[in-house]
Structure 1
Amino acid sequence: MRAEIVAKQVKAMAEHGLDAIICSSPENFAYTAGFVVPSQPLIRHRHAMTIVTADGRSAIFGVDMEASTIKRRLPDVPSRIWAEFSDDPMLVLADQLAGLGLVKARIGIEMDYLPAGDFARLIAAMPGARFEHAEPILARLRQIKTAEEIALLSRLSRIADQAIADALAEVDAGDSEMDIAGHLTRNVYSLGAEHFKLLIVATGERSV
């Protein structure tokens, strides 16, 4: 987990009277965890979430298809893995939250990402908890960049500028837009941005 981002969330929880924040969207999962779960952006029901509590504890919730990725990237963070074809993920999540002492807590969650049916089952499984919108809090936190994020964005900006300049120097009259795009894509990766888009997502930028 990104320690500086966890600390920012803890501070925000104190300001808003929350006991925990759950990040469930691919961009906010990456913002907190520091990596993207490969299938999460493509298959919406494969829930992957970060959980941060007001006292600074953190945990991961993820599907069994991505268990090895989660364990490899965050081996020291407590995780709860649900089985895609046999578990109700919301019941597993509710049990994980109960284990974190959040049965009667005020919990911030991304209500604009979690499907309505899943949210209804989560509420039913945790009748004593109060779920509130976390989107405005997370959006504000992501607007204020850390030094690490600023350095990353600066590096990627330089790569993008160089890749565009090199692509323009390589194209010839008659080349198609796809030819130009091919030059640009190859240049971006050859200059070191192997995970160009994913790194931007992890910094909190939404404009890619």
Structure 2
Amino acid sequence: MSLHSPAVAKEELPFNTARLDALMDTAGLDVLLVCSKHNVQYMLGGYRFFFFEYMDAIGVSRYLSFFIYEKGRPEHAGYIGNPMERDEKQRFSHWVHESDLGSWKSVDAMNQAIAFIRRNGLAAGRIGVESAFLPADAYNALRAGLPNSEVVDATIVLERLRAIKTPQELDMLRNASEKVVDSMAAVVATHGAGATKNDLVHALQREEVARGLTWQFCLISMGQSFNRAPSDQIWQPGDVLCLDSGGNYNGWVGDMARMAILGEPDSELQDLLGVIDEIQQACRRLIRPGTLGRDLFPEAQALVDVSRHKDYLSFVIHGMGLITHEAPRLTPNGSVPYEASDAALPLEEGMVLSVETTMLHPRRGFIKLEDTIAVTSNGYEPFGDGHRGWNQAGG
């Protein structure tokens, strides 16, 4: 079934069409065939079909939706989705001109996308896809259905488009970060001796959901152990606790890490967290428009290198937004490996960074701070910047 929406002016679209067209032109793309949930949501201005929020599998195939964009012609954009989205479209009327809502299987969705591309006279163009998110059966259908087209990866194009956040998107990230940190503080304040890692993670999930977040994960370490999986390990007096959690607000991710302790932090623990904070601040004060991404590292890394704890200290920066570790990508040496394609480029207003320093102390355990920092017109703004010291258990 094909549904039509009235045309929308470019200035009313949820993304910058001039920026996207320029990125596509540089990559030599005629059409984008977007299929990842986060990028479909981004291109549609926040829409994500609730029924398949947690799982794509259904029957013998999977849910697969497409946003289709022709360079320079947003009025020709299309959306391919599931029949049940007809009800959702009445509630959330996204802006695309044409929607085909008739696919239950991945190949069916691709065949509808192929038909859309043919109707618009683009069967011989260069089509950008998200290679890591496109199922093999759908890719094979695309190659068979459009044999005269050239299919290339467009992941970086979409990453670069999302790298500059709008004020509304920054508000979402600010909310997500603050709600994650507030949830952590509430859990620490209401738990104490005898609580297990499982207890704390379940409580954190409840706190985040109660604040309007979609729960994603919690990496939790306790005592001298570096194991960050939830378990029945019990919080003992004197044990440090690291909560590293992600929850999203309307799709935008808050990913923060804060420390707690059962009891009073001694002078050594105060010093250790102080070392971490000093490294964090060395990076943070350099964040401003025009700073090259690679120039955020030397001062902080120098503090790591001269520290007597250097053998178990690490420092990294990565982009934040609809996913963790998105553009700008500044280093190939972090915990998540990828090419540092933005390291030689200047920071721009609206970019958002996650700055994190981790210490795996052989006696005191896992100690970490992870902060979310937005690049502003004259510097930076931290999101969710509270509770960065030792939070004491209250239960």
TM-score (ref. length: structure 2): 0.47
Q: Which residue of 2 aligns with 1:36?
A: 48
Query: Greater relative contact order: 1 or 2 (C-alpha under 8 angstroms, separation 6 or more)?
Result: 1
Tell me the residue number matched to 1:16.
27
- Tell me which of 172, 186, 191 is aligned to 2:206: 186
- Identical pairs, percent: 24
- Counterpart of 1:175 in structure 2 is 195
Task: Determine which of 80, 100, 113 is the counterpart of 1:61.
Answer: 80
Q: What TM-score, normalized to structure 1?
A: 0.84
Shift of 1:104: 2.1
Counterpart position of 1:200: 252
Shift of 1:157: 0.9
Moved over 6 A (4+): none
- Higher percent of residues as helix: 1
Q: Which runs of 5+ in 2 are unaligned?
A: 1-7, 216-246, 254-319, 326-395
Q: Residues 88 and 108 from structure 1, CA distance in 2 versus in 1: closer, same or farther, beyond 3 angstroms?
A: same
Q: CA deviation at 1:65?
A: 3.6
Q: CA deviation at 1:203?
A: 4.1
Aligned counterparts, 1:142-161, within 5 A:
142-161=162-181
Q: Deviations over 1:73-121 (max 9, x none)?
A: 2355210122427x73322221111123322222211122212222121
| Counterpart Cα distance in 1 of 2:159 and 2:166 | 14
Contact 1:37–1:48 (Cα < 8 Å) also in 2: no
| Structure 1 unaligned regions, length at least 5 | none
Could you say what secondary structure the match of 1:5 adopts? coil
Cα shift readout 1:116-164 (whole Å, capped 9, x = no counterpart): 2221211211123222111121122233333322221112111111111
What amino acid is aligned across from residue 40 of structure 2 in structure 1? F
Kindly report the root-mean-square deviation, in angstroms, between the aligned alpha carbons of the 2 structures. 2.7
Quick one: distance in 1 between partners of 2:179 and 2:139? Answer: 41
Larger radius of gyration: 2
Higher strand share: 2
- Is the Cα–Cα contact under 8 Å of residues 164 and 184 in structure 1 kept in the other structure? yes
Distance in 2 between the 1:144 and 1:76 partners? Answer: 21
Which residue of structure 1 aligns with residue 66 of structure 2?
49
My pick for the range that moved more, 139-148 or 100-109, is 139-148
Does the 8 Å CA contact 1:111/1:135 hold for their aligned counterparts?
yes
